[in-house]
């Protein structure tokens, strides 16, 4: 939970605009290493893509942890709010894709252990965090079309596999299907920060990829987690009314998308938590 006094001081001292092509984003710090913002698409794609909630995470200040309900010895998946109560994470987002029976599709590792899932043969995006060897970045997006991945010599402890959205050349890696849904995007920017992007309305992945390519050049590469009713992002401490003090002013109009309670949140078999480093 973030204190109001600290938030106000950090907001006044650290919030700064960044211009990306035809858009401007103002980051509102929550605490050291964690900021939020609203990202509005430029005029070239605003009709197809709604504003996005953005969370910027410094992996040097925050760690990532994977959770799966079976590994937690739970009888059934939890909603994202229930996951937050269990894990105490400051930020949580849905991990990858899963079937109707809650079986996870793709590689999922926790503390270097496989959680009983198998590598998907076609999906080429990996979110990888908490390296096992020195010299590696603490969190990154890995493109299996470019980067090698040895299942017997895992270089990261926390891993979740899904689809690539944009590669390092800015090329969209999704098909143009026209299907629209809420989306959760995990991206790596050119300064080494991890960005979480959550759409405020349904959009097509192809349109989103093209829009980010044009208007968000700070993104190095990005992957997409599960969409639709499974698309979830929670920022802890986001309260309304007199008690509102846990997140930045720019995203407060979207409380029902961020507090885990105001809209329909289906149970999630796996999530990724963002927690302060000790």
pLDDT digits (tens, 9 = 90+) for 183-227: 999 999 999 999 999 999 999 999 999 999 999 989 999 999 988
- The predicted structure's pLDDT at residue 198: 94
In this prediction, what percent of the chain has a pLDDT beyond 70?
Answer: 83
- The predicted structure's pLDDT at residue 145: 93
- The predicted structure's pLDDT at residue 178: 82
> Residue 26: which residues within 8 A CB-CB, separation 6 or more?
15, 16, 17, 18, 37, 250
Closest CA to 248 of 59, 15, 40, 65: 15
263 falls in which pLDDT band (50, 70, 90)? low
DSSP structure string for 237-278 = T---GGG--SS-GGGGGGHHHHSSSSS----BSEEEEEEE--
Bigger pLDDT: 5 vs 164: 164
The overall average pLDDT reported for the chain is: 84
Residue 86 has pLDDT above 70, yes or no: yes
- The predicted structure's pLDDT at residue 29: 87
Rg of the chain, C-alpha, whole Å: 18
Bigger pLDDT: 8 vs 117: 117
In this prediction, what percent of the chain has a pLDDT beyond 90?
Answer: 55
250 falls in which pLDDT band (50, 70, 90)? low
- The predicted structure's pLDDT at residue 79: 93
Closest CA to 103 of 120, 83, 122: 120
pLDDT tens, 39-71? 988 887 868 899 999 999 999 999 999 999 999
Residue 10 has pLDDT above 60, yes or no: no
pLDDT tens, 94-107? 998 888 888 888 89
- The predicted structure's pLDDT at residue 275: 97
- The predicted structure's pLDDT at residue 240: 43
- The predicted structure's pLDDT at residue 265: 74
Bigger pLDDT: 17 vs 274: 274
pLDDT tens, 126-170? 999 999 989 999 999 999 999 877 766 789 999 999 999 999 999
């Amino acid at each position: 939970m973030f204190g109001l006094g600290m938030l106000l001081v950090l907001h006044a001292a650290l919030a700064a605009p960044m211009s990306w092509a035809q858009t401007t984003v103002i980051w509102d710090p929550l605490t050291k290493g964690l900021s939020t913002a609203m990202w509005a698409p430029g005029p070239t794609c605003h009709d197809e893509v709604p504003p996005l909630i953005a969370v910027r995470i410094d992996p040097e200040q925050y760690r990532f942890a994977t959770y799966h309900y079976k590994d937690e010895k739970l009888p059934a998946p939890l909603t994202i709010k229930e996951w937050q109560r269990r894990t105490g994470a400051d930020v949580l987002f849905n991990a990858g894709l899963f079937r109707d029976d809650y079986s996870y599709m793709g590689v999922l590792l926790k503390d270097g252990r496989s959680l009983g899932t198998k590598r998907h043969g076609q999906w080429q995006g990996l979110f990888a965090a908490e390296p096992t060897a020195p010299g590696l970045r603490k969190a990154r997006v890995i493109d299996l079309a470019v980067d090698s991945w040895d299942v017997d010599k895992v270089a990261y402890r926390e891993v979740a596999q899904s689809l690539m959205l944009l590669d390092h050349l800015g090329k969209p890696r999704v098909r143009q299907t026209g299907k629209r849904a809420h989306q959760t995007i995990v991206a790596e920017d050119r300064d080494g920060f991890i960005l979480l992007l959550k759409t405020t309305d349904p959009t097509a992945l192809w349109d989103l990829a093209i829009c980010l390519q044009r208007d968000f050049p700070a993104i190095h590469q990005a992957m997409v987690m599960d969409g639709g009713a499974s698309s979830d992002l929670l920022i802890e401490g986001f309260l309304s009314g007199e008690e509102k003090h846990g997140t930045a002013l720019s995203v407060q109009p979207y409380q029902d998308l961020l507090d885990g309670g105001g809209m329909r949140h289906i149970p999630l078999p796996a999530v990724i938590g963002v927690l302060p480093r000790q």
